[in-house]
Amino acid sequence: MRLLLWRRLSGARCKQRQLNDDDNTYIPQSFTKMGRILLSQSQVSVVVSCGVVFAFTILLFLSGYVLQQRTVTGLQAEIRPRLPPPPPSLRTQNTKDAAESLQPSRLFRGSGKVAYTNLQAAEQASADVDWQRLAHVQLVRRHHDVCNAIMVLAELHRLKSPARRVLLFPRDWALEKQGKKGDISDPFLDSSRRLMRMAARRYHVELRPVNPVMEETAESKDTDVYSLASAYALTEFDRVLSVETPGLLMDATPLDAVLAFTESAPFAMLQDTFAGDGVHSEDLLLLQPSNSAHVELQKRLADQSAFNDTLLPSLFTNPLLLASSADDNALIRSIGTLHEASRGFNQTAYLAGVSYVRFSDPKLPGPEYDVPWSEKVAARPRNKDADWMWTKLYGQFAQKRMEVCGLDLETWRG
């Protein structure tokens, strides 16, 4: 009985399985494939959304990459040193030819050669100029001169001068230790050291200690004398250029052009004439360092009873005089000439093509001093336009002094 029941159940299951197989046989294969290919609406929406997000991500990446490259290019252009254009012609003329356009030098009576430089040339700088062999040099003799010298070197850095920047200072400042409690020490030494460290860190100024050319003696009771003649010991440079302080650097390109493209000469300075422009030859000195010249200068200075850098040109028999090719692109102007300005004074022409404004003002002690208001009003130029320029330049100097050195104007005590 049980065996019969088991056979009936097995036969029913076989028929059911066969029936299912027969049903599958009649289902077309195309319907099976369509079931696999067709997507639901939610799946299509997800695919489209992913595609849009991917496309916008690619576009955002490409736009960010382009913007980054433009920013990097702009930063490189800002950081890259500015190369001055070389003069198309730098010719040397003798005194006879120079006398036709310039009066003879006040110091040498026409005995020096005159080098003319076209400072407004538009050509590109020569690729063979080794700017690491050229330097702008400032010498500080007193603590009072430190900020004025650093201001010039800081402006050279801001204007991207490709030449190196060197600050010469007395060696005693580096050797002197801080005095102990109760000892008498230099009260301004810490301030000068702080300013020099700041200049080295912020403006990449190279600090070089120098010895005095004439030392203090018990007989003479004179202080140590420091001279720019010490720059001749900087034999790692082909040429060094120095401008007299205090002053404002307006454009570094002409000074760089003179430094790089002036003909080789042991000593060069400005063409000092009787034009009454307030500019002196020692306002700009261009030196060619060498060991032999340094040794010779040390011997000659040892025989001098008194010396300052105004006598330095007299140690050279045939110096090179620097003059621009036209009056409208003078290297240096003096602020003192504003007192003699006529009615037709032109403010634009006064600063056109000028590289450096020297504060050689006969009516004020210096731009670093805070003179009483009554004395400042009395010293102002009579010409209205010249007075505006005069006031503007003194204000710019005070602002630069605060920005660079963090110092306010000193009180003038007469």
Note the pLDDT of residue 10.
55
Measured over the CA atoms of residue 182, residue 226, residue 220 and residue 280, the dihedral's sign is: negative
pLDDT of residue 246: 93
Give residue for tokens 């100097």: 397
| pLDDT score, position 36 | 54
- Cα angle for residues 103, 106, 110 (degrees, 5° grid): 55
- My answer on whether omega of the bond before 246 falls inside 30° of 0, hence cis, is yes
User: Can you give the pLDDT of all 414 residues of the chain as single tens digits?
Assistant: 544 445 554 555 555 555 444 444 444 555 444 545 566 777 788 888 888 888 889 988 888 888 888 887 777 666 666 656 555 444 444 444 544 455 555 555 555 566 655 444 434 445 567 889 999 999 999 999 999 999 999 999 999 888 999 999 999 888 876 544 545 567 788 899 999 999 999 999 999 999 988 776 544 455 778 888 889 999 999 999 999 999 999 988 888 888 888 878 888 888 765 566 778 888 889 999 998 888 888 888 777 766 777 777 777 777 777 765 445 557 888 898 898 888 888 888 888 878 899 998 888 998 999 999 888 899 899 989 899 999 999 999 999 999 999 999 988 877
| Residue indicated by tokens 């920013």 | 71
Question: How wide is the angle at C-alpha 68 spanned by C-alphas 64 and 73, nearest 5°?
Answer: 155
- Report the alpha-carbon distance of residue 206 to residue 167 in Å, rounded: 6
Inter-residue contact 117 to 325 (CB < 8 Å): yes
- Token digits of residue 405: 């050195």
Which residues have C-beta within 8 Å of that of residue 161, sequence separation ≥ 6? 81, 82, 136, 252, 255, 256
Let me know: does 245 contact 152? Beta carbons within 8 Å.
yes
pLDDT at residue 208, as a whole number = 94
Tell me the sheet residues that pair with 114.
Answer: 93, 321
- Dihedral sign, Cα of residue 195, residue 179, residue 169, residue 333: positive
Of the CATH numbers 3.30.70.20, 3.40.50.10320, 1.20.1630.10, 3.90.550.10, which one belongs to the domain with range 90-411?
Answer: 3.90.550.10
Amino acid identity for residue 208 in this structure: R
Task: Give the pLDDT score at 80.
Answer: 60
Q: Which residues lie below 8 Å from residue 84, measured CB to CB, with a gap of 6+?
A: 125, 162, 252, 253, 254, 256, 257, 260
DSSP assignment of 349-397 equals HHHTT--EEE---TTSS-TTEE--HHHHHHTS-SSHHHHHHHHHHHHHH
Rounded to 5 degrees, what angle do the CA atoms 341, 382, 345 make?
30
